[in-house]
Structures are given as C-alpha cells and as structure tokens.
C-alpha cells in the first residue's frame, strides 16, 4: 500500500481547507463483503464518502467537491502549509440525519437514498465482528439515536420499493429488522446467478433467525 499525495479540498460552505489522504497503489487482499452490501478493502482504504467540516460543521459529499473541480491546486501551497491542514473528518450517522432533516424535500431522491445508505453502514459499523468473530464492546446508543436509526431504515426501505437493483439491500434491512419471512420473499425473487452466493448465505441467516450484520464469503 503506497500513500499518494494528499488532495486538498475546500468546505463548500465556509471554504476552510482540509487534507484528504490518497493512495498511489493498493490491492484487494483481505477484502470483506458484508451482508449490508458494504465492501471493505483494508489494503485499499477509500476516503470517507461523507465528511463534516471541522470549522463550520457543514456536512458534505466529498465526491461532489472533486466532481466540481473545486480541489485546491497543491502547488499553490507550501508542503508545511499542506501538512498543517486538518485531515477530513468522517461524518457520523447523526450528522447525516441532521443534514437530511435540514434539506428536506428539496434533496434529490437518489442522493437522499445514498446518504441514508451510508448512515445505515455507519450505524452497522459498530456491530461488525472482527476477524475472530468478536464484536468490539461499544457504548449503547441512547434511545433518540436508536429511534433515528429505525426511522432511517424505514425511509430507506420505502425509497427502494419495487426496484430490483436494491433487492438485496431490502432483504438485509428486513432481516436486520427481524422480518425474516419478508426477507426470504425478497430472496425468492432474486434470479441473478451471479448473486447466488449472497442469496444462499442470506437464506441461511434468515433460517437461523440471525438479525446481525455479517461478513459473507464470496462465491
Ligand atoms: Zn466549513
């Protein structure tokens, strides 16, 4: 894994600059496919999708800054000035909920679905077992946080209704909610042979009445 030159991004709201570590090269060794469709490549870590400005707490999608070519030309800064910048701070699921609530109905539906998916993954991160199958002990979220997460899953499920592309995500949400029969009905409709390895393992988890996020073995 070879680190590359940092990318420098301005906050879209206040302009405060932050440093994003990048990779020159990596590999797919140790890749883990999770049941919530998150893929983790330890030897090729990617920058966070959603970040929070450490100056004004604005929450933004990092790819938006890159896509709109607002990245700062590092040649306009000294190495010391680049090194002095704070590293981008990954947002939390609470940051994402706050942003969706503040933006409301004006947010593009697809963007909102992606944000809610990332928030779901962040919530699941706390319960992902390590290589030895152990789940790290973390503080139990308070009731308000759990209620926000439950609402997020309901909204996410509603936004995915009827779309085959999101079938396995729907299945996973239903399974995590304990709706095992409904999750199995989603699996019954999945006929893509390339996804049979996911379907088989999801079926086994449903049969075991297991509602936890789990690593899947790639078939
Ligand atoms: Zn800012």
**Read out DSSP for 49-67?**
SEEE-TTT--EEEHHHHHH
Residues 79 and 98 in one domain: no
Residues 165 and 187 in one domain: yes
Q: What is the pLDDT of residue 174?
A: 98
Ligand 1 center to 57 CA (angstroms): 6
Ligand 1 center to 209 CA (angstroms): 44
Q: What is the pLDDT of residue 70?
A: 75
Residues 106, 107, 111: CA angle, nearest 5 degrees? 165
Q: What is the pLDDT of residue 50?
A: 93
Ligand 1 center to 1 CA (angstroms): 31
Ligand 1 center to 81 CA (angstroms): 18
Among 67, 90, 113, give the residue marking a domain's end: 90
Among left, alpha and beta (phi > 0; psi -120 to 50; other), residue 162 is left
Q: What is the pLDDT of residue 126?
A: 86
Residues 126 and 151 in one domain: yes
Contacts of 145 (CB under 8 A, 6+ apart): 94
Residues 174 and 121 in one domain: yes
Q: What is the pLDDT of residue 219?
A: 73
Phi, psi values for residue 33, rounded to 5°: -100, 120
User: What is the reported pTM?
Assistant: 0.88
- Structural domain for 176, as ranges: 93-216
Q: What is the pLDDT of residue 78?
A: 86
Residues 83 and 173 in one domain: no
Q: What is the pLDDT of residue 201?
A: 98
Ligand 1 center to 51 CA (angstroms): 10
Place of tokens 């450490």: 54
Q: Considering its fold, how many domains does the chain have in total?
A: 2
Ligand 1 center to 108 CA (angstroms): 22
Ligand 1 center to 87 CA (angstroms): 13
* Rounded distance between C-alpha atoms, residue 163 and residue 166, angstroms: 6
Residues 37 and 7 in one domain: yes
Residues 117 and 55 in one domain: no
* DSSP H helical ranges for 5-75: 62-67
Collect the ranges in the chain with pLDDT lower than 50: none
Contacts of 26 (CB under 8 A, 6+ apart): 1, 2, 41, 43, 44, 45
């Amino acid at each position: 894994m070879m680190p590359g030159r940092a990318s420098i991004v301005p906050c879209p709201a206040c302009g405060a600059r932050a440093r994003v570590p990048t990779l020159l090269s990596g590999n797919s060794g140790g890749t883990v496919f999770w049941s919530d469709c998150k893929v983790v490549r330890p030897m090729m870590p990617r920058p966070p999708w959603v970040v929070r400005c450490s100056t004004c707490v604005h929450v933004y999608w990092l790819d938006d800054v890159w896509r709109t070519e607002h990245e700062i030309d590092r040649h306009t800064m000294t190495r010391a000035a680049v090194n002095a910048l704070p590293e981008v701070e990954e947002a939390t699921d609470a940051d994402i909920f706050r942003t969706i609530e503040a933006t409301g109905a004006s947010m593009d539906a697809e963007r909102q679905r992606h944000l809610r998916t990332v928030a779901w993954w962040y919530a699941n991160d706390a319960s992902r077992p390590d290589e030895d199958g152990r789940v790290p002990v973390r503080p139990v979220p308070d009731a308000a946080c759990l209620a926000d997460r439950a609402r997020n899953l309901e909204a996410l499920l509603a936004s995915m209704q009827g779309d085959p592309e999101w079938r396995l995500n729907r299945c996973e949400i239903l399974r995590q909610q304990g709706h095992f029969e409904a999750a199995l009905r989603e699996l019954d409709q999945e006929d893509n042979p390339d996804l049979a390895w996911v379907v088989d393992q999801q079926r086994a988890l449903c049969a075991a009445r297991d509602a936890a996020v789990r690593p899947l073995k790639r078939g």
